[in-house]
Structure 1
Amino acid sequence: MILFISFESLTSNGAGGTGKIAYEVAKNLSAKQQPVKLIVSSKGKFTTPFTSTPVSLWTHYYKFILNKFVSPLLKPYQKRHLEERIFDFFCSRHIHHEQKLIFSTTPFLPRTFKKAKRLGIPIVFFPGTPEENHIAELVSNEAKKWKVSSSDVYTYKPRLNIFNQGMKLIDHVICHSSVIESTFRNRWPDKNFISCLGLLKPGCEAEAQIAQGTSFRVLYAAHTVWLKGLQYLLKAWNELSAHGELIIVGSIDPSVQQVISRDFNALKNVTFTGPVSGIDEYVKNATILVCPSLIDGGPVTVLEAMRFGVPSILTDACGLKDFIHNGETGWIIEAGNAIQLRDRLMACYADRDSLQKTGAAAQRMLSDYDFKAFIENIASETVALQK
């Protein structure tokens, strides 16, 4: 049996994030008569064609207690860390000698992995984001550069320690982007790395492009933390504000907001929407999407832009750069380079006639993407790693 583990939950709509990959690979192998089991954080009414179960029958109870009584006493990243520790405790009870392989989309399982190691079970990790120590260093450096203090899930040392304990026990790492793979290879060169390039979301039906006319609307959409690089977009916008409108969608980390209020409060033609329930309306009315991330496994917003035929500018630190043909289906710039970003936006403003063509090419690429082949590739590699 292959045991799949995801910290995500199964809801009535299925699984999200890397949990979807664990689910799809398990389903693929189950259809080939390979015994599989999927462990998730919690499970709603969603049914699976193979064995799946919440990590504990007590999940709903301990989550209620956490949310009702413990959460008010903790910072969000401390709560996340506690939830991961509880998940690991219960998950370790699912490890048995008859299992031939562990396929996990979370590395925060040192207790679980230690038990698997004692039983001689190989461990495969499928990361959805770049390496945690790499991220922590980037966040710390950015906060120092912009002269603010920052405490978040990426720099919380107890959580980083658990990550490192888990990584030491992992045998194989399957990576879906070159960006993710490079960050893990640099820190963990002793692991066996397997490259399975692909998108975490299946190709979807294209939406009709909207003619933009003479307007120039630049869209940025994210839950903004230091890694998203919004500070460099705002720096670039300083010389572009007279040429269009910058729309910033999503919540903003307090330390980043501190820099915005201090250094960019005089910028013109900038709209901050705050948190929103969905971004479709913003995307389809945008002229261009900008993802100035300093490191990013995706981002998903680029896929949303592709769906509506809206072209994107993203950095060379985004995982999706593997699927963008620079100048044909989007543009790739150097991460953290506000000058390059400014120049690219100016070029797009000067040649708006080409934007719709570039967006349409990106839309076709997404529509033609073969998600099933991606899952088949991961499934084949996974089966070959069984003990």
Structure 2
Amino acid sequence: MGDKKNILVVSFQSLTERSGAGMARLGYYLSNELHKRGLLKEFIVYSKGKFTTPFPSAAVSPLSRYFLFVLNKFNKYFPIKPHKFRFVQEQLFDWFCAKHLEGPVDILFVTQPYLLRTFQKAKKLGMKIIFIPANPEENYINSIVTEEKQRVGIEEDDAYTYKKRIDYYNKAIQYVDVVVGSYPTVYESYSRSAYKGEVVKLIGHLKPDFKPVSPIDRPIGPELKVGYLAHTVILKGLQYLLDAWEMLMKETGNDPNLKLYIAGGIDESMHEYVVKNYLNIKNVQFVGRIGNVPDFMKDKDLFIVPSLVDGGPYTALEAAHYCLPVIITANAGSGELLGRDNSGCHIIPIKDAASIKKEILWAYHNREEAKQLGLNAKHNLDHYKMEDFISELADYLEKV
């Protein structure tokens, strides 16, 4: 093996008490492993707050917390559309991040692609840029979301269809040498895209820090309580679950033992669409934002993830943690983990209300089998070792 590399790890999110938010969690554990191997230069995050790390780390700027405070105050009194506000934050992060490319750095490892200024400077300095996405390729997401918006008649832009943001991504991704696909959906979408660099398949999942829970022996009663939990935007596919439920109610004569619980906030445009099209469906309860996820999960018998496109939806793993059988689309990366060995999920096509309805009826009429599916899901999650994935990723960076 040659000389030791200097690897700079960058994540748009901030530190938390235990690691990092979102993809900063991967950055945190990877940085720790690289530091043990003498390969880490530094881990850059948006904000460190009061938290420290056992390895070199820094906020993208000493002033980033104050800039965020000012931006949030401005947004409170002069509201900006969420997707535009996020793009402003991403550009600000990029501007500060470029200033960290000083001294010897061989590899710039990033968890987000909106770093055009940073990437341009990195290439001038001879650095190799490696990107591990949280989600499938941006133009692929844009295509799916745009098509769905046209279908349901929603015209409002969001983060996935905002042209300025997509254009910024398309300029930035040209500088990336390697994309690491850690979910099948991510690997496949980048492999099929216009991206010209190398796409490496290295499957792994970010396992949340759940409090330990013993396997749950759910009593089987007459009711089937079906759960859905997400911050709902159009790509989460709630509209297909509600279409399926409407079909189910017509087919079963509004069977009172079938109950659907929709949890989480709903974006304004989707909220209007739901109010207009689904408020009269029977046996549906919109519970809104919830403060206690474990209580929500423990009370259900089946969990649905109808995403049109997704990375590794956290809620699918939460459901598995509480022994819920999971119905998940093929475009949601968490199905790869839950579906291993004795599968803990059923994987269905996207945009397929009939398949969702069929799976709910299967769970209703096969309660013991559905219960075992949930136990399998928990087994697969509990026996998955995220540290093996982190070690494999560090091995790749050490050898590349």
Structure-2-length-normalised TM-score: 0.93
2:314 corresponds in structure 1 to 300
Q: Which moved more, 1:198-207 or 1:356-365?
A: 198-207
* Structure 2 CA distance for aligned equivalents of residues 274 and 202 of structure 1: 23
1:235 corresponds in structure 2 to 243
* Structure 2 CA distance for aligned equivalents of residues 111 and 203 of structure 1: 34
Q: Which moved more, 1:254-263 or 1:280-289?
A: 254-263
Letter in 1 for 2:152: W
- Please list, as runs of the form range in 1=range in 2, the aligned pairs for 1:204-353 lying within 5 A after superposition: 205-209=212-216, 210-241=218-249, 242-243=254-255, 244-325=258-339, 328-353=343-368
- Please list, as runs of the form range in 1=range in 2, the aligned pairs for 1:119-268 lying within 5 A after superposition: 119-201=125-207, 205-209=212-216, 210-241=218-249, 242-243=254-255, 244-268=258-282
Shift of residue 144 of structure 1? 0.8
* Structure 2 CA distance for aligned equivalents of residues 352 and 186 of structure 1: 40
- Please list, as runs of the form range in 1=range in 2, the aligned pairs for 1:356-371 lying within 5 A after superposition: 356-371=371-386
* Structure 2 CA distance for aligned equivalents of residues 162 and 382 of structure 1: 26
Gaps of 5+ in 1: none
Q: Does the C-alpha gap of structure 1 residues 383 and 188 become closer, same or farther in structure 2, counting only changes over 3 Å?
A: farther
* Structure 2 CA distance for aligned equivalents of residues 171 and 23 of structure 1: 22
2:123 corresponds in structure 1 to 117
* Structure 1 CA distance for aligned equivalents of residues 307 and 40 of structure 2: 40
* Structure 2 CA distance for aligned equivalents of residues 357 and 44 of structure 1: 43
Letter in 2 for 1:315: T
| Identical pairs, percent | 34
Q: Which moved more, 1:194-203 or 1:89-98?
A: 194-203
Shift of residue 172 of structure 1? 0.5
Shift of residue 234 of structure 1? 0.5
2:66 corresponds in structure 1 to 61
* Structure 1 CA distance for aligned equivalents of residues 388 and 208 of structure 2: 10
Q: Which has the higher contact order (CA 8 A, sep 6+)?
A: 1
Shift of residue 70 of structure 1? 4.3
1:15 corresponds in structure 2 to 20
Paired positions, count: 385
2:38 corresponds in structure 1 to 33
CA contact (8 A) 1:203 1:371 kept: no
* Structure 2 CA distance for aligned equivalents of residues 106 and 35 of structure 1: 18
* Structure 1 CA distance for aligned equivalents of residues 290 and 356 of structure 2: 26
Q: Which moved more, 1:323-332 or 1:336-345?
A: 323-332
Task: Provide the secondary structure at the position in 2 that maps to 1:3.
Answer: strand
Shift of residue 203 of structure 1? 7.7
CA contact (8 A) 2:310 2:333 kept: yes
CA contact (8 A) 1:177 1:197 kept: yes
Shift of residue 277 of structure 1? 2.7
Task: Provide the secondary structure at the position in 2 that maps to 1:238.
Answer: helix
Task: Provide the secondary structure at the position in 1 that maps to 2:262.
Answer: strand
Q: Which moved more, 1:259-268 or 1:99-108?
A: 259-268
What is the root-mean-square deviation of aligned Cα atoms in Å? 1.6
CA contact (8 A) 2:261 2:284 kept: yes
Task: Provide the secondary structure at the position in 2 that maps to 1:239.
Answer: helix
Shift of residue 4 of structure 1? 0.4
Gaps of 5+ in 2: 1-5
* Structure 1 CA distance for aligned equivalents of residues 92 and 182 of structure 2: 28
Deviation per CA, 1:286-309: give whole Å up to 9, x if none. Answer: 100000111111111111111111
Task: Provide the secondary structure at the position in 1 that maps to 2:199.
Answer: strand
2:3 corresponds in structure 1 to none
Deviation per CA, 1:235-288: give whole Å up to 9, x if none. Answer: 110132434110000111222222212221210010111122342111111100
* Structure 1 CA distance for aligned equivalents of residues 48 and 161 of structure 2: 30
